[in-house]
Amino acid sequence: MIRKRLGDALVDSGLITPDQLKEALARQKEMGKRLGKVLTDLKFCTDEQIAEALASQLGIPYIQMDEVNIPPEILKLIPETIVRSHTLLPVAKKGRSLTVAMADPLDAFIVDEIRYQTNLEVEEAIAPESHIISAIRRYFGAEDVSQALRTIKQRNDAAAEMLNTLMPTEATAFDLMANDEAAVVNFVSHLIRQAIHEKASDIHLEPEEDHLRIRIRVDGVLSELVRVPKANQAEIISRVKIMAEMDISEKRLPQDGRIRAKITDKNVDLRVSALPVVWGEKIVIRILDKSALNLSLRDVGFEDDLLARFETAVRQPNGIILLNGPTGSGKTSTLYAAINYILSPKINISTAEDPVEMQIRGVNQVQIKPDIGLTFAHTLRALMRQDPNVIMVGEIRDRETAQIAVEAAMTGHLVLSTLHTNDAPSTIGRLIDLEVEPYLIASTLLAALAQRLVRRICVKCKGPHTPSAEELADLQMEQLGITEQLSFSQGKGCVQCSNSGYKGRTAIHEMMTLDDTIRRMVTAKTPAAEIRKAAIARGMIPLRKCGIYKAARGITTVEEILRVTKNEEI
Output the DSSP codes for 369-422.
BGGGTB-HHHHHHHHTTS--SEEEES---SHHHHHHHHHHHHTT-EEEEEE--S
Any domain includes 546 = no
- Same domain for 521 and 427, yes or no, is yes
Secondary structure (3-state) at 554: coil
Quick one: how far is CA 556 from the chain centroid? 16
Whether residue 419 has pLDDT greater than 70:
yes
Any domain includes 200 = yes
Beta strands 364-367 and 349-353 are: parallel
More confident call, 35 vs 23: 23
Any domain includes 522 = yes
Whether residue 237 has pLDDT greater than 80:
yes
Any domain includes 463 = no
Q: Which residues have a Cβ under 8 Å from the Cβ of 303 and sit 6 or more positions away? A: 509, 546, 549, 550
- Same domain for 248 and 299, yes or no, is no
How many helices, marked H, and strands, marked E, lie in the chain? 24, 18
- Same domain for 379 and 396, yes or no, is yes
Question: In whole numbers, what is the pLDDT of the chain averaged over residues?
Answer: 86
Let me know: does 445 contact 489? Beta carbons within 8 Å.
no
Beta strands 202-207 and 211-218 are: antiparallel
State how far the Cα of 153 lies from the Cα of 145, in Å rounded to an integer.
12
- Same domain for 233 and 375, yes or no, is no
- Same domain for 79 and 186, yes or no, is no
Could you say which of 288, 313, 342 is where a domain stops? 288
- Same domain for 269 and 317, yes or no, is no
- Same domain for 525 and 378, yes or no, is yes
| pLDDT of res. 175 | 37
| pLDDT of res. 445 | 97
- Same domain for 300 and 284, yes or no, is no
| pLDDT of res. 182 | 73
- The stretch 9-16 carries a mean pLDDT of 84
| pLDDT of res. 137 | 78
> What is the value of pTM for the model shown?
0.69
Q: Which residues have a Cβ under 8 Å from the Cβ of 121 and sit 6 or more positions away? A: 96, 97, 98, 115
Position 339 confidence tier, pLDDT thresholds 50, 70, 90: very high
Could you say which of 288, 307, 326 is where a domain stops? 288
Could you say which of 271, 288, 305 is where a domain stops? 288
More confident call, 34 vs 131: 131
| pLDDT of res. 143 | 56
Q: Terminus-to-terminus CA distance in the chain, angstroms?
A: 63
| pLDDT of res. 455 | 95
Whether residue 153 has pLDDT greater than 60:
no
- Same domain for 200 and 314, yes or no, is no
Position 157 confidence tier, pLDDT thresholds 50, 70, 90: low
Domain harbouring 296, CATH code = 3.40.50.300
Any domain includes 162 = no
Number of folded domains in the chain? 3
Any domain includes 141 = no
- Same domain for 324 and 445, yes or no, is yes
HEC readout, 43-101 = CCCCHHHHHHHHHHHHCCCECCHHHCCCCHHHHCCCCHHHHHHHCEEEEEEECCEEEEE
The model's pLDDT over 504-529, given as tens digits with 9 standing for 90+, comes to: 999 999 999 999 999 999 999 999 89
Which structural domain range is residue 421 located in?
Answer: 292-453+506-540
| pLDDT of res. 433 | 93
Domain harbouring 251, CATH code = 3.30.450.90
The model's pLDDT over 241-280, given as tens digits with 9 standing for 90+, comes to: 999 999 999 999 999 998 887 776 667 789 999 999 999 9
| pLDDT of res. 223 | 85
Half-sphere exposure of 276 (CA within 13 A, CB side): 7
Any domain includes 352 = yes
The model's pLDDT over 80-117, given as tens digits with 9 standing for 90+, comes to: 888 888 889 999 998 999 999 998 887 888 888 899 88
More confident call, 294 vs 172: 294
Q: 542 has which bridge partners? A: none
| pLDDT of res. 492 | 84
Any domain includes 148 = no
- Give 81: exposed, middle or buried? Use CB within 10 Å, 0-12, 13-18, 19+: exposed
Whether residue 169 has pLDDT greater than 50:
no
- Same domain for 94 and 192, yes or no, is no
Which stretch of DSSP H or E encloses residue 17? Answer: none
State how far the Cα of 161 lies from the Cα of 165, in Å rounded to an integer.
6
Domain harbouring 23, CATH code = 3.30.300.160
- Same domain for 264 and 312, yes or no, is no
